[in-house]
Amino acid sequence: MTLSHMEMENHTVVFEFILLGIPNTKGHETILFISFLAFYLCTLLGNLLILSAILGDSRLHTPMYFFLCNLSVVDLGFASISTPKLLVDFWTKSRTISLGGCMSQVFFYQFLGSTEQLLCTAMAFDRYVAICHPLRYLIIMNWRVCTILAAGTWVTSSFQATILTSLTFTLPYCGPNVVDYYFCDIFPVAKLACADTYVIETVSFTNIGMVPMTCLLLILMSYVRIIYSILKMNSAEGRRKAASTCTSHLTVVTLFFGPCALVYTQPQLSKALVTALQISADVVTPMLNPVIYTLRNKDVKRALRKLKGGQMTAH
C-alpha cells in the first residue's frame, strides 16, 4: 500500500461541516436573528401576495405576469436556502451542518440562481416583443412559447445544478471540515477536498461564469432594441408607458446581477464586503422584488386590492 493510501485511511471521512458564519458578528446574534427573521417573513409574505394576486385576477393571466409568478416562486426558494439555517445558528449558536444539508444548499443555490438568470432573460425577451413587435405580441408570446421558455429555465437549471453538486460531493472530504462562509457554496466547500479540484473549478467557472454572462449579454441586446424603439415612438404617453413596464425588470436585473458580478469578477474584495454583497443578493433582493413590481404597477395594485376585498368579504 502506498503512503498516500495509508494517509487517506488515517483520515476520517467528513459527515458534517462547520459554517464559520458572517464575519465580525460575535455578540450580535440576537439583533441579527430579529433582522433576518423580519427580512425572511417579509419575503414570504410579499411573494405569496404577488402569487395570490396574479393567480386570482384573470386580467393578469398574461405572459409578463406568468413569468413574474415564476420569479416569485424562485424568490421564495432562494430566500429559504440559507436564511432558515442562519436563524437556527443565531438562535442556538451551533454552526454545524450535515453533509446532506450542505449538499442541499449547494444544489438549490445553483438551481435557483441559474433559474433566476434564465427567467430574467426570458422576461427581457417578453418586454422586447411587447415593445418592438406590439401587433404580433400575442402571436409570438403565445402560451405554448411561454410554457416552453419557463419549463426550459427550470429543467436546464436543475440539470446544471445536479452536475455541479455531483462533481462537488464526489470529491473526497477527509478533514478539515470548516467552511469559511455562512452557507455551503461550491468554492468554499471544494477548498476542503483532499483531492485535485481542477475539474470542478473548471466546470464551475464555465457554468457560473458563462451562463450569467450570456444571459446578461442577451438582456442588454434586448434593451438596446427596446430603447431604440421607445425613442422612435411619436406619443409621449406611449414612450412613458413603455419605459415604465421595463423599469421594474431592469431594477430586478441590476439587483440580481450586480452583486454576482462584483463577487465573481473582483477576487481582491474583502471577505466582509463579499459576504455583505452575497447577503444582499440572497436575503434582501428576494424581499425587494415584489415591492419593485407593485410600486409602479397599477394592475398588480388593483389585483392586491381585489384580493384584500375578497378576504374581507370572506370574513
| Residue 6, pLDDT above cutoff 50 | no
* Domains and their CATH numbers in the chain: 13-314 (1.20.1070.10)
Classify burial at 234, counting beta carbons within 10 Å of its beta carbon; exposed 0-12, middle 13-18, buried 19 or more: exposed
Q: What is the pLDDT of residue 310?
A: 60
Instruction: Pick the range with the lowest mean pLDDT from 29-33, 76-80, 90-94, 98-102.
Output: 90-94
Q: Which of 39, 120, 41, 68 is nearest to 297 (CA)?
A: 68
Q: What rounded mean pLDDT belongs to the chain?
A: 85
Q: What is the pLDDT of residue 220?
A: 92
Q: What is the pLDDT of residue 1?
A: 37
- Kindly state the average pLDDT of the residues 275-303: 82
Crossing angle, helix 285-295 and helix 298-314, to 10 degrees?
100
Q: How confident is the model at residue 268 (pLDDT cuts 50, 70, 90)?
A: low
What are the beta bridge partners of residue 96? 18
The three cell numbers locating residue 108: 438549490
| Residue 10, pLDDT above cutoff 60 | no
304 vs 9, more confident: 304
Instruction: Pick the range with the lowest mean pLDDT from 6-10, 16-20, 31-35, 96-100.
Output: 6-10
| Residue 41, pLDDT above cutoff 90 | yes
| Residue 25, pLDDT above cutoff 90 | no
| Residue 8, pLDDT above cutoff 90 | no
pLDDT 10s digits, 172-190? 888 788 988 889 988 889 8
| Residue 265, pLDDT above cutoff 70 | no
pLDDT 10s digits, 191-250? 888 888 788 877 777 777 788 888 989 999 999 999 888 888 887 877 887 777 788 888
DSSP state of 24: T
| Residue 14, pLDDT above cutoff 50 | yes
| Residue 137, pLDDT above cutoff 70 | yes
- Rounded (5°) CA angle 256-262-266: 160
